[in-house]
Chain A
């Protein structure tokens, strides 16, 4: 049995009386890329934030690497990329990497090699010394991703990773994520409507805070007689 990297068990989350998540069961195994797919306001971001312990669960349990979350120490094993680019505009790409690398407790030679490796991956190694404020939206997203991948985290959590990255580069990013997964990392990515759904080993469809379907992408499409994940949602609505 492959190792479970992260899991949510019977997770409920309420903000006051507003039920944002209900009865979520979710696992991310080592070597696996999981897609968390759903429309806006479906609870994807909350789900991710609960998983890594930024939020408390109202009910249920969240685990990362067998430790119950929220636990501060575990955050050093997680690479997180939020919806915003989350980078400092007044600094260069390289300086941004150094800052977040240091926060991830990387030092000296290791820090340097990690930065070089990840900047190269997202195709920013030549523009690394440029100020981020001069970057295009696409470049900012790429830099943000490079920061999330710093320090080879065991669990990689990406909120809308594909948004705003151009198709050519997206493929190389996916390939790299696949390599990281093969090396034993667990990856979970939230997305709205996903093109390139074949990249996921497993998808979890989320709607109004509940998991409506889960499984291998092809299996789901067969089950709902759909050509894409979007159609799965549409056909599902038609049934209910």
Chain B
């Protein structure tokens, strides 16, 4: 199997020779992850703006959570225009007995947060009234306060949405980039005729495929290490478990991406078909890798995800990075990833038959 080494070295070197492409491929994933970091790293600082008339009971406004901005209006304004032009999330006014709340509801999740804020305000008013009743009572009654003590099974109060998504997102980004990169590299070998020329020697098909996989894999390894170190040291993502397992999983993800990319490059007749196949392989994985819980559709839908490598990668990475578990919790995911790699590789070797019959 000397051919494997020859082709691996060749693939690796021809990539190093192309500095511009090298930078693109290594830096682009970092840019994407940084973007995701900026988008998802929200520390629950949604700024809520609520409008009230000046006749509003001050207990209500004072009782609102601190991060809620309250704007007072002297006259009752025309609500439709006000909510939009002043960027209010809700307008609250006091009727005889109840509250009259109008939500903008442009962004439903935010409305939920506003609703919560309003409820807090209402509770403050109710407390106030309760106190009045209590004072009227003859005895010195005190309502015992309930103290809440919080602790977290995973992570801490500083855990952000980004940290939950990080394992799956990085797996996805890595898989996608490696796959596209491998696909294009191999497709280029096809169109330039070098693949044909390689096949016109007595090398085995398996040597060709394993050679490409090793060469590309070495290169991809470089990218993986960069990405993980970048995330941990610059984006400050905390990893509960062992770094070794994190790397092992990422390496398996890269290789399954590379193997899938090879298969696609060998099977697609044109660039357009190649792009369509890439989309067909990646887009479902975005939704099915556990990023979005599809509990409401039903288990059967969620289970489709187990037909894709990223599902296993996401599960394993979550176990290690968030729950701090190791081998005994992730071995079956690792096994599944390894099987994907072997499967794609074997299919690629068979797919190469299209280019040389023996």
**Residues of chain A having any CB pair with chain B under 8 Å:** 52-56, 70-76, 78, 80, 82-91, 95, 99-100, 102-105, 131, 147
Contact = CB atoms under 8 A, between A and B. Distances in A.
Interface of B: 2-3, 6-7, 10, 13-15, 17-18, 191-194, 196-204, 355-358
A54 B198 CA distance: 12
Contacts of A147: 197
B121 to A, nearest CB: 67
Contacts of A85: 192-193
Given A78-B200, A90-B17, A103-B201, A83 B3 contact: no
13 contacts: A53-B358, A54-B196, A54-B356, A75-B200, A80-B200, A84-B193, A86-B193, A87-B194, A88-B14, A88-B194, A90-B17, A91-B13, A103-B3
Contacts of B357: 53-56, 70
What are the 5 A-B residue pairs with the smallest beta carbon separation, nearest first?
A84-B193, A90-B17, A86-B193, A76-B202, A80-B200
Nearest to B9: A99
A72 B193 contact: no
Given A90-B17, A103-B6, A105-B202, 10 more contacts: A53-B356, A54-B196, A70-B357, A70-B358, A85-B193, A86-B193, A102-B6, A103-B203, A131-B17, A147-B197
Contacts of A53: 356-358
Contacts of A52: 200
A54 B13 CA distance: 27
A204 to B, nearest CB: 21
Contact of A54 (B6, B191, B200): B200
Contacts of A90: 14-15, 17-18
Contacts of B14: 88, 90-91
B193 A82 contact: yes
A48 to B, nearest CB: 10
B10 A99 contact: yes
Contacts of A71: 358
Given A85-B192, A90-B14, A90-B18, A103 B355 contact: no
Contact of B202 (A55, A75, A99, A131): A75
Nearest to B198: A103
A76 B204 CA distance: 11
Contacts of B358: 53, 70-72
Given A86-B193, A103-B3, A72 B200 contact: no
A75 B194 contact: no
